[in-house]
Structure 1
Amino acid sequence: MRHSRFHLKLIPLAVLGIWGNNALAEEVSATSENQAGAQVVSPIVVTATRAAQTSFDLPVAIDVVSKENIQDGQAQMTLSESLIRVPGITAQNRTQMSQDPQISTRGFGARSSFGVRGVRLYVDGIPLTYPDGSGQPGNVDLGTLQGIEVMRGPFSALYGNSSGGVIQLLTENAPQGHELSAGVLFGSYGTRRENVRAAGTADGLEYMINYSNYSSDGYRDHSSNKKEQGTAKFRFNLNEDTKLTTLINWFDQEANDPLGLTRAEVRADRKQATASAYRADTRVSRSQTQVGFNLEHKVNENNTINLISYVGNRKNEQYLSISPVNGNGRASLIDREFWGTDLRWTHTGELLSRPYSLSAGLTYGKMNDGRTDIAAVNGVKTGALNRDEENIATNSDQYIQAQWALLDNLDLHVGARRTKVTLEVDDNFTSGANSNGDNSGRVTYEKTTPVIGAVWKATPTLNFYANYGKGFETPTFIEAAYASTAANSTPNLSLKPSESRNFEIGTKAILGDNTSANLTLFKSLTDDEIVVSDTLSGRSSYTNAGKTKRHGAELSIESRFANNISLFGSYTLLNAKFDSDYTNALGNTIKSGDYIPGTYKTQIYGEIAWKHQASGFSTAFEARHNSKVYVNDTNSETAGSYTIFNIRAGLQQKLQNWRFSEFVRVENIFDKDYIGSVRVNDGNSRFYEPAAGRNWLLGLNATYMFQ
């Protein structure tokens, strides 16, 4: 009955979709000219102030990943492909698809066992982060993106329950006329992807419909996976002052889970799956449908009203191993319905003869999870129930943000957000075998998070900025699911939210006639940090760790030379440590000064690219370095540092109404053995997920443009 009611909700929104229009700013570029007349790109962004503005003039650390860097020479399957170039971001590819990639910013989110944590996710302004703060980016097809905006630091608090940053995915707008395209990709380990797309504009209606089908045997044993995905975007100008966008995303995925490996297992055979993964047939099946729309109405020259609303459902069934010596396991099912809305008013005017802009809004979100846990043996359900409950999360927030040009060369930015998050557990499994009584409960978290920042425009090509803000991060239902890793554990509603104070200073510069550079220094002090206490047999329990401290630096630099040669580099320095002692579930004392596991002290990315316009040929050489990373709170084990190199090349042709493109990509060209990601505090010491050795991709695409 829950599904039938939900699909009835979808019908009016899907019908409304044919009259869509995008209310977000298009991903374009502004240019800044120096005295020599050369142009240096300064991207237009919408995430920082919720209005289109050049990133150069904002007092925040924000970067844009272009369509070219998302799609050209990439598999377009995980966000880690695109985000590894962004300073301050850790995006680790697990080399298996049973879980989303590990994404964290400045160490926030590094503890996440499932999904994305500590970072807010959006697509065209529509949330991909649920009311409890957890996020799942897998329903967005990277092949439909025009750009990705990544904001770090204090101003992220204006988006709600998060500490580290905001990642906004911006989908492509339709071309003029009509196009039909198809593509195919082949690669190592039986990798294959097909996609088809129809897009165009007619009578004011703009549309983009995309379908893709991906499958792979996987690099590791027992890691095969497949995924079908669809995206539809519609835009329409309802009248001169009113625009509407509707965005529909859907995916269906199945993936085997090879689990992590111990250090000894990695040395013996890095491609293997653990024996318990075979015995319990660990795997996941998930699907999601989400429909959202964005309505923008211009009241007059100084006032605009924006309404965003969305609804969706998600099913996630995961088979987990609970014994290292036999096939005992469990099947955990989460059946989720979610919806929400964001109403925003934007006003521009003058104060003391100086221009200002003001935004104020209300947001509400709700998710309802039907959660069951059934015993399984050798990957088959036995029918013995271990858990049956409803998990309900709601958030109700109010926010305000203002920008004022205090002087010709000095802008002031201020804002605040009031957040209220409620987590509720309704226990339906209160009697019978394996029941541990009624564990229903409810907890509410409330906090106001202010931010303030300023940017001083020292010269037309040199800006300095500083900001300060407070952050607030509540436990997710995944983190509150278990008070311990025992099979009959109760929920952990005693977890406290973490609260942070965040400081940031930086500079943005246009150097010479062809180079731009951004430098940021930051510091975050957190109380009651939520950390993994223990992980065992697929269950993770969490605790509050007292105080933590993060400080570091982020640098990015880009140069463009004659003959279409470009250089790009980014550098991240992060010291993320516990700042007070605490004792975890195993009785181990974690000392002040120990590193937060899952955080890399140093990350470096570099790229040199060249295009030959006449022939349509392009190529790029990439290099990436990560320092060692601690895998547990006691810092007793590490995954070693590594440096890898990749190369890609592509061709483009045009013949009458046809466009053709081909690419080849080789990753890890020197066949380096390294650990791609880690499972923090795993109770069986299976911390390590090895990355693939040398591997390749080959892609072909054809587009027909109708006259």
Structure 2
Amino acid sequence: MYRYFFLLLFLSQQLAAQSDTLYTLPDATVVGFRDQLPARRVAASISTLRTGELRQYPAADLLPAMNRLPGVRFEERAPGSYRISVRGSTLRSPFGVRNIKVYWNGIPLTEPGGDTPLNFLDVNNIDRVELIRGPAGSLFGAGTAGTLLLSTDTLARPATLDVSGGSFGFFRAGARVQWPSGRADDAGPHHYQLRVTHQQTEGYRDHSSLRRQTAQASARWSVSPHRNFSLHALYTRLGYDLPGGLNAEQYAADPRQARPGSAETNASINYDNLLVGLTQEWARGRWSNQTTLYGTGFYFDHPFNFDYKRETNLGVGGRTAFDYALPLRTSVLNLSLGAESQLQYRMANNFGNESGTPTELNFSDEILSTQRILFFQAQYTIDDWRFSAGLSLNDLGYRVDRTFSADGPVGITESNLRGVASPRLAALRDFGSWSLYGSISSGFSPPTLDEFRTNEGSINTALRPERGTNYEVGAKGRRGRVAYELALFYLRLTETISTYSDARGTTLFRNAGNTEQRGLEFQLDYAAGPWLDLYGSYTYHRFTYGTYARGGTDYSGNRLPGTAPHIVNLEARFRLPAGLYLTVTENYTDAIPLNDAGTVSGEAYHLLRARAGWRGTIARSELDFFLGGSNLLDERMSFGNDLNPQFGGRYYQPAPGRNWFVGVSVTP
């Protein structure tokens, strides 16, 4: 697979040599490190996705859009069951998002317990993605893999409606509407938005249906020339079935079957969630401030093969950051100081499960999770050099009050992690059309609540937090039609948390010594002209255990499960005459080791997708008719494997075979 990287590198050199200044790629602005600068002037590995890139894929699916980025593996083990890996973070992820801090419109979507319900969001609720790869704890707290910033923008047009359908009972309909308040004054613009979406599918596998409705209301208004407010409210009703993992024999015989017992017990996830956040932005003179306050609550209903969970959650929190521009000699020293605090209360009950109905109560917990972050950053530019230094102090605590247990003790168990420091140092040299940077950053990742308190009722007080230090160098360039980015990194984790499962299939966790994670990530954009854009990315990850022995077996030096050594993405976007267009994408994913011993691997595959359509105007409305397909080569693959199953060998979560879709988007 090295040939892919050298091919992309050779192409970037040739294309840069042939480029001119008559057709220039737009330069993405990033905000993750408290500044508004082109990405090539920020000393970090940062990727962005804009609205057009998010909407160009089959049926507005977030999975292929995220997977085009180097270092990222976005998985969907069943419709709606997301898992995202950045630089191998799925080592410790049974489901959902781990080791990555996620924000939506400045609101922490990641709970203080470490879980991130990314499936509460439809792609209709996201207009822009900014991904920081590597530890960003100096500003965002816990997490050694990265930080994901999602945001909603002002709409370009007053309204957009879209409808699409396809294979396996897929249907999706959404609407985005925006209108001004009608108020005209010197304070600034006022506008309101409403976004609603319904999505459903019966799924490729048995017992894998999905139903999701989202409703987002947003408002932005100015109370003075110096102060703006924005309000975002999101309601999500989500329900999806869990078909479960298959062993090798079941996978070979019929990949569409569900794990035996999943349908009979109605194994599924069901949520009702409300999230509301209010943000103030203020700037005057050398000072500026951004403050966000939020509240959230959800009801969680989860029948599983062996038990039945019901939870009620309430959470509140806030984040504030002050920025000050201090003139210093011939330049400006930019200072940032801020804090973030989150509190979550959860009432959790675990029952027996009889044919999808809760029976006797097994145990009941009242859980309080708290997280506090204090952060500081200084950035200084002198001539062509830019220097950054940051530091955060972090506190995290869990308090589990077991009020009832059918077969064990009751009482209070606490876990506290106090005063953890996460520093970051970085420097960048700007050569005009390209730059070089280097950084050293430290991160930590405490056990999440679902790792500290596992599904079968045990409380793992012996589980210790991960600590990691990341060393990174990179180059970024932009010249006319060509833009590229190259990053080389080395991350050493100690007390790495890895997963395994018991005889029931419950995911459990243990510390696994230390890991050595080396990687190369490269991406290239080429605007060939007004009719063609080309994109390519290559990821090489060599992630291995350093020192790790378990059960008398030494796994030191083995590759980490859940990480592909090589991933290649290639993309071509054609703009054809008469409003026609075509997008073709190819994803190659290398074989993925699935257990610590390296004796079982998920197969390598080529995933080919295409979308063709027509954009034009009919009766003063802009229309986009499209059709296409995914997995056009009908490859057998798994988008999300189970790692280290202790019994049963249920490694595989099969992905759909060849499938099709058709749809239309209307902008009046």
TM-score tier after normalising by the smaller chain length: over 0.9
| Number of equivalenced pairs | 643
Distance (whole Å) between structure 2 residues aligned to residue 566 and residue 156 of structure 1: 35
Distance (whole Å) between structure 2 residues aligned to residue 73 and residue 200 of structure 1: 28
Which residue of structure 2 aligns with residue 397 of structure 1? 373
Which residue of structure 1 aligns with residue 241 of structure 2? 256
Q: Are the equivalent residues in 2 in contact too, given 1:602–1:627 (CA < 8 A)?
A: yes
Q: For 1:343-381, what per-residue CA distance to the aligned partner results, in whole angstroms no more than 9, with x for missing partners?
A: 211111222332121111011101111111000122222
Which residue of structure 2 aligns with residue 63 of structure 1? 47
Q: Equivalences for 1:78-97 in 2 at 5 Å?
A: 79-97=62-80
Does residue 75 (structure 1) correspond to residue 59 (structure 2)? The answer is yes
Give 1:50 shift. 2.2
Mean alpha-carbon deviation: is it higher for 589-598 or for 639-648?
589-598
Distance (whole Å) between structure 2 residues aligned to residue 50 and residue 537 of structure 1: 46
- Aligned-residue CA RMSD in angstroms? 1.8
Q: Are the equivalent residues in 1 in contact too, given 2:584–2:611 (CA < 8 A)?
A: yes
Which residue of structure 1 aligns with residue 344 of structure 2? 367
Give 1:625's aligned amino acid: Y
Q: For 1:425-457, what per-residue CA distance to the aligned partner results, in whole angstroms no more than 9, with x for missing partners?
A: 011115xxx230125211111300100000011
Does residue 616 (structure 1) correspond to residue 575 (structure 2)? The answer is no
Give 1:168's aligned amino acid: L
Mean alpha-carbon deviation: is it higher for 528-537 or for 676-685?
528-537
Give 1:494's aligned amino acid: A
Q: For 1:639-691, what per-residue CA distance to the aligned partner results, in whole angstroms no more than 9, with x for missing partners?
A: 11111211111221223542211111211112111222101122321110111
Give 2:548's aligned amino acid: D
Give the TM-score taking structure 1 as reference length: 0.88
Mean alpha-carbon deviation: is it higher for 460-469 or for 490-499?
490-499
Q: Equivalences for 1:571-650 in 2 at 5 Å?
A: 571-583=538-550, 587=551, 589-612=553-576, 615-650=578-613
Q: Are the equivalent residues in 2 in contact too, given 1:439–1:491 (CA < 8 A)?
A: no
Give 1:91 shift. 0.8
Please point out which of 289, 298, 314 is paired with 1:314: 298
Rate the CA distance shift 1:314–1:537 in 2: closer, same or farther, 3 A. Answer: farther
Rate the CA distance shift 1:535–1:63 in 2: closer, same or farther, 3 A. Answer: farther
Distance (whole Å) between structure 2 residues aligned to residue 140 and residue 50 of structure 1: 25
Give 1:449's aligned amino acid: S
Does residue 697 (structure 1) correspond to residue 622 (structure 2)? The answer is no
Please point out which of 507, 514, 517 is paired with 2:484: 517
Distance (whole Å) between structure 2 residues aligned to residue 351 and residue 362 of structure 1: 26
Q: For 1:229-285, what per-residue CA distance to the aligned partner results, in whole angstroms no more than 9, with x for missing partners?
A: 111111111111100111111111111111010011010001011222133221221
Rate the CA distance shift 1:650–1:673 in 2: closer, same or farther, 3 A. Answer: same
Distance (whole Å) between structure 2 residues aligned to residue 253 and residue 221 of structure 1: 19
- The DSSP-based 3-state class of the residue aligned with 1:669 is coil
Which residue of structure 1 aligns with residue 14 of structure 2? none
Please point out which of 231, 239, 242 is paired with 2:227: 242
Distance (whole Å) between structure 2 residues aligned to residue 589 and residue 152 of structure 1: 33
Distance (whole Å) between structure 2 residues aligned to residue 276 and residue 157 of structure 1: 46
Give 1:157 shift. 4.4
Percent identity of paired positions between Structure 1 and Structure 2: 22
Distance (whole Å) between structure 1 residues aligned to residue 265 and residue 159 of structure 2: 44
Does residue 477 (structure 1) correspond to residue 465 (structure 2)? The answer is no
Rate the CA distance shift 1:272–1:524 in 2: closer, same or farther, 3 A. Answer: same
Which residue of structure 2 aligns with residue 15 of structure 1? none
Q: Equivalences for 1:323-342 in 2 at 5 Å?
A: 329-342=306-319
Q: Equivalences for 1:363-442 in 2 at 5 Å?
A: 363-382=340-359, 384-405=360-381, 407-430=382-405, 434-442=406-414
- The DSSP-based 3-state class of the residue aligned with 1:537 is coil
Distance (whole Å) between structure 2 residues aligned to residue 149 and residue 280 of structure 1: 39
Please point out which of 415, 420, 423 is paired with 1:450: 423
Distance (whole Å) between structure 2 residues aligned to residue 263 and residue 623 of structure 1: 26
Please point out which of 38, 51, 61 is paired with 2:35: 51
Mean alpha-carbon deviation: is it higher for 642-651 or for 36-45?
36-45
Give 1:462's aligned amino acid: W
- The DSSP-based 3-state class of the residue aligned with 1:440 is strand
Rate the CA distance shift 1:35–1:380 in 2: closer, same or farther, 3 A. Answer: closer
Which residue of structure 2 aligns with residue 358 of structure 1? 335
Give 1:450's aligned amino acid: P
- The DSSP-based 3-state class of the residue aligned with 1:690 is coil
Give 1:669's aligned amino acid: L
Distance (whole Å) between structure 2 residues aligned to residue 313 and residue 428 of structure 1: 22
Q: For 1:568-587, what per-residue CA distance to the aligned partner results, in whole angstroms no more than 9, with x for missing partners?
A: 0011111111111232xxx3
Which residue of structure 2 aligns with residue 344 of structure 1? 321
Give 1:537 shift. 2.7
Distance (whole Å) between structure 2 residues aligned to residue 144 and residue 537 of structure 1: 37
Give 1:567 shift. 0.5
Distance (whole Å) between structure 2 residues aligned to residue 364 and residue 278 of structure 1: 41
Does residue 569 (structure 1) correspond to residue 552 (structure 2)? The answer is no
Q: For 1:558-605, what per-residue CA distance to the aligned partner results, in whole angstroms no more than 9, with x for missing partners?
A: 10112321110011111111111232xxx3635111121111111111
Give 1:122 shift. 0.9
Give 1:234's aligned amino acid: A
Give 1:122's aligned amino acid: Y
Distance (whole Å) between structure 2 residues aligned to residue 253 and residue 341 of structure 1: 26
- The DSSP-based 3-state class of the residue aligned with 2:54 is helix
Which residue of structure 2 aligns with residue 150 of structure 1? 131
Give 1:156 shift. 4.8
Does residue 217 (structure 1) correspond to residue 202 (structure 2)? The answer is yes
Distance (whole Å) between structure 2 residues aligned to residue 76 and residue 290 of structure 1: 23
- The DSSP-based 3-state class of the residue aligned with 1:75 is helix
Distance (whole Å) between structure 1 residues aligned to residue 587 and residue 604 of structure 2: 11
Mean alpha-carbon deviation: is it higher for 671-680 or for 445-454?
671-680
Mean alpha-carbon deviation: is it higher for 641-650 or for 434-443?
434-443
Distance (whole Å) between structure 2 residues aligned to residue 358 and residue 655 of structure 1: 52
Give 2:375's aligned amino acid: Y
Which residue of structure 1 aligns with residue 218 of structure 2? 233
Q: For 1:25-76, what per-residue CA distance to the aligned partner results, in whole angstroms no more than 9, with x for missing partners?
A: xxxxxxxx987444132201111x1232111100000011121121124323
Give 1:146's aligned amino acid: D
Distance (whole Å) between structure 1 residues aligned to residue 497 and residue 23 of structure 2: 48
Does residue 180 (structure 1) correspond to residue 143 (structure 2)? The answer is no
Give 1:498 shift. 0.5
Q: Are the equivalent residues in 1 in contact too, given 2:610–2:629 (CA < 8 A)?
A: yes
Distance (whole Å) between structure 1 residues aligned to residue 524 and residue 234 of structure 2: 34
Distance (whole Å) between structure 2 residues aligned to residue 237 and residue 162 of structure 1: 35
Which residue of structure 2 aligns with residue 283 of structure 1? 268
Q: For 1:447-504, what per-residue CA distance to the aligned partner results, in whole angstroms no more than 9, with x for missing partners?
A: 00100000011x211200000011011111111113xx8x5x5311221110001110
Give 2:212's aligned amino acid: K
Q: For 1:76-107, what per-residue CA distance to the aligned partner results, in whole angstroms no more than 9, with x for missing partners?
A: 35x3232100001111222433x2x2201111
The runs of 5 or more residues in structure 1 that have no matched partner are 1-32, 322-328
Which residue of structure 2 aligns with residue 549 of structure 1? 516
Q: Are the equivalent residues in 2 in contact too, given 1:145–1:171 (CA < 8 A)?
A: yes
Does residue 528 (structure 1) correspond to residue 495 (structure 2)? The answer is yes
Q: Are the equivalent residues in 2 in contact too, given 1:248–1:291 (CA < 8 A)?
A: yes
Mean alpha-carbon deviation: is it higher for 129-138 or for 459-468?
129-138
Rate the CA distance shift 1:156–1:91 in 2: closer, same or farther, 3 A. Answer: farther
Does residue 539 (structure 1) correspond to residue 519 (structure 2)? The answer is no
Q: Are the equivalent residues in 2 in contact too, given 1:481–1:541 (CA < 8 A)?
A: no
Give 1:579's aligned amino acid: G
